[in-house]
Amino acid sequence: MPAVTSGKVLVTGANGYVAVWVVKSYLEKGFAVRGTVRSESKAKHLRQLFQSYGDKFETIIVDDITKEGAFDEAVKGVDAIAHTASPFHDRADDPSEIIVPAVQGTLSMLHSALQHGAQSVQRVVITASCASIFEHGATPRVFSEKDWNERAIREDVAVMNPPYVYGPVLHEVDKPEHLNESLTLWWNAVVAGKLTDEELVTIGYVLSVDERLRSSLTMAARCTDLVGPAESVSSSARVPTRTRTVNIAHRLYPKLPAGNTSYDPAKAVHMISFNASKERKLLGIKYHTMEEMTRDTLEDFIKRGWISV
């Protein structure tokens, strides 16, 4: 599987929280990027955001990712595909609202790549989730890429398995109520103070990573030739309770909620942990610290006028 160090990359769902950072990472590295969006209105913000890159950035409309042939035109002439288009929220009344577009959207992209991109596409990297790696149990357990169960995929595919992702916002959001799922959870805990003292110390962030790191991981997975065929990488290692982030935020900005001040991190038991040594060895990525992620996210919110400190 060859390394992809230049050329054009297709980023699906390019207006999403994760995808916009992925697009930015590629453009900064000199790649050309073609981003799929569901409508012309979704493309406007992206074109304004990346206008300094000129014709290095383009958009293409894919209004329904589940349709067979939806990506036929999008995959033509690209060297790599970053598949990030998939719904993620916890408001679904029926599991099919999440499962069907996640599965069918991925299959549609792969079918299009096979039929219309086989001459140019050298690598496909799919954004999955750490939820496909771990499971809840009665005793603490450390998970790694060895716990990935679905390896029967095409030989030019690598899979990144991130948890919830946090960090500054780059995609189009007009107010906090319209934040994506992960940042809504973060906002409710850190800024809005909606969690009880018990929830703050018993609910973990499922191995939070900074979105800028997540984008770098995606970039690295495409450009390096060290991540082999059909491999998965766990892109997270920490399991902080929510009070830890709340405490950091309060220390930085005392007007924010103080959280559970009785929490003793030395006594915390983390039921889920990840071994991310493979990621560090292959991709050479360094995590943002919790302090950096919290500070930079709050600074972004302050600049947007969403919080006053």
Task: Name which of 102-106, 135-139, 145-149, 260-264 the model is least confident about.
Answer: 145-149
The residue count for the chain: 309
| Candidate from 23-27, 50-54, 110-114, 207-211 with smallest mean pLDDT | 207-211
Are 95 and 190 in a shared domain? no
Residues 99 and 189 both lie in one domain:
no
Q: Are residues 109 and 174 in the same domain?
A: no
Same structural domain, 208 and 90: no
Shared-domain flag, residues 104 and 179:
no
Q: Name the residue range of residue 190's domain.
A: 135-143+169-226+236-304
267 and 173, same structural domain? yes
Report if residue 231 sits inside a domain: no
Rounded mean pLDDT, 245-268: 85
Q: Is the pLDDT of residue 3 over 50?
A: yes
The verdict on residue 293 lying in a domain is: yes
Task: Indicate the residue among 127, 159, 184 that finishes a domain.
Answer: 127
Same structural domain for residues 107 and 139?
Answer: no
Cα–Cα distance measured from residue 62 to residue 83, given in angstroms and rounded to the nearest whole number: 13
Binned at pLDDT 50, 70 and 90, residue 253 comes out as: very high
Angle in degrees, CA 89, 290, 27, rounded to 5: 70
**pLDDT score, position 254:** 94
Mean pLDDT of 155-166: 66
Q: How far is CA 87 from CA 12, 53, 288, 289, in A?
A: 12, 28, 26, 27
pLDDT tier, 234 (very low <50, low <70, confident <90, very high otherwise) = very low
In a domain, 220, yes or no: yes
Q: What is the 3-state secondary structure (H, E, C) of 46-115?
A: HHHHCHHHHHHEEEEECCCCCCCCCCCCCCCCCCEEEECCCCCCCCCCCCHHHHHHHHHHHHHHHHHHHH
The phi and psi torsions of 98 (rounded to 5 degrees) equal -100, -45
Does the pTM surpass 0.85? The reply is no
Indicate the pLDDT class of residue 250, thresholds 50, 70 and 90.
Answer: very high
Is residue 150 situated within a structural domain?
Answer: no
60 & 179 share domain:
no
Of 127, 155, 188, the last residue of a domain is 127
Look at residue 215 and tell me if it is in a domain: yes
Tell me the pLDDT of the chain averaged across its residues: 78
Residue pLDDT, tens place only, 80-109: 999 987 766 566 666 767 777 778 888 999
Backbone phi, psi, residue 300, to 5°: -65, -45
pLDDT at 35: 96
Same domain, 190 and 287: yes
What distances in angstroms separate CA 64 from CA 68, 70, 171, 173, 265, one per listed residue? 9, 7, 20, 22, 46
Note the pLDDT tens digit of each residue in 12-35.
Answer: 999 988 889 889 989 998 999 999
Report the number of distinct structural domains present in the chain: 2
Residue 163 lies in a domain: no
